[in-house]
Amino acid sequence: MILNYRAKGFTHPTLFLFIHALLLLSSMVALQSAHAKHLLVYGDSLSAAYGMEEQQGWVHLLSQSLAGKHTISNASISGETTGGGLARLPVTLDELTPDIVMLELGANDGLRGYSPQLIEDNLRAMVRATQASGATVFLASISLPPTYGPRYIDQFRSVYSNLSEELGIPLLDLYRPEFVTTAGYIQEDGLHPSALTQPIVKDMVLDFLNDNNLLE
């Protein structure tokens, strides 16, 4: 591209180069902005940094890894159920207008022994509402303590795999046996991951986003 810039009756080659460089820089910034994604993490205590400083949570750690490339909003609430998430989702999507939504809900439903069918119906409704907004959505699943019995746990975990297959959306399984068996990985309440596990969860989510080309 050649610019013919004239001021006060003369042409200055150095000025041409300066303006050309500014235009190239502006084009690069615009191109980077066009590829930037806005990720919304929509979950419960697992994503809300429960029992620790917010800066220790995996969502904050992920935002640091993506700084300058993509942005993250965290609308996670400790204790949230799929019913509560479904109720506040439309306003959240309207206000934040994300490109990608990580739907990490259901644990509190399971801990309260709610019907797997109810959990599935609420998650399906949230997936469809998110898709209707124009955003890409993926599910994140977990498990329950063994005291809930293998039958209920299997039904609970099947909710996520069934929805992933039915709706054709990616599924990230955040359950890892070592989180339970490794000393210091779970908080004293026996339920919530500790600060030690947060970098691991961050890496799991980041790898998943990259492996599924969700940030492209």
> Could you tell me if residue 59 is inside a domain?
yes
Domain tally, the chain: 1
Three-class DSSP category at 40 = strand
The verdict on residue 89 lying in a domain is: yes
Residue-level pLDDT at 3: 35
Can you tell me the mean pLDDT for 194-204? 97
Q: Provide the CATH number for the domain around residue 119.
A: 3.40.50.1110
pTM of the model: 0.84
- In a domain, residue 143? The reply is yes
In a domain, 16, yes or no: no
Catalytic residue among 47, 154, 192, 203: 192
Answer whether residue 133 is part of any domain: yes
Per-residue confidence band for 4, with pLDDT thresholds at 50, 70 and 90: very low
Residue 33 pLDDT greater than 90, yes or no: no
pLDDT category at 10 given cuts 50, 70, 90 is: very low
What the block records as the tokens of 23 is: 């235009």
**Least confident among 15-19, 120-124, 130-134, 151-155:** 15-19
Give the chain's mean pLDDT.
88
Q: How many CB atoms lie within 10 A of CB 124?
A: 17
Is 5 within the bounds of a domain? no
| Whether pLDDT at 95 is above 60 | yes
Active-site annotation holds for 154: no
Neighbours of 146 (CB within 10 A): 9
Closest CA to 51 of 191, 204, 177: 191
| pLDDT of 107 higher than 70 | yes
Q: Known catalytic residue: 207?
A: no
One-letter-per-residue 3-state SS of 135-181: CEEEEEECCCCHHHCHHHHHHHHHHHHHHHHHHCCCEEECCCHHHHH
Residue 22 resides in a domain? no
140-183: pLDDT as tens digits: 999 999 999 999 999 999 999 999 999 999 999 999 999 989 99
Catalytic site residue from 44, 45, 47, 109: 45
Query: In the prediction, which pLDDT does 176 show?
Result: 92
> What range does the domain containing 207 cover?
37-211
**Coil, helix or strand at residue 103:** strand
* Rounded percentage of the chain residues whose pLDDT exceeds 90: 81
Q: Are 81 and 56 in contact (CB under 8 A)?
A: no
Please indicate whether residue 189 is annotated as part of the active site. Answer: yes
Residue 24 is assigned to a structural domain of this protein: no
- Which residues neighbour 9 within 8 Å (Cβ) at sequence distance 6 or greater? none
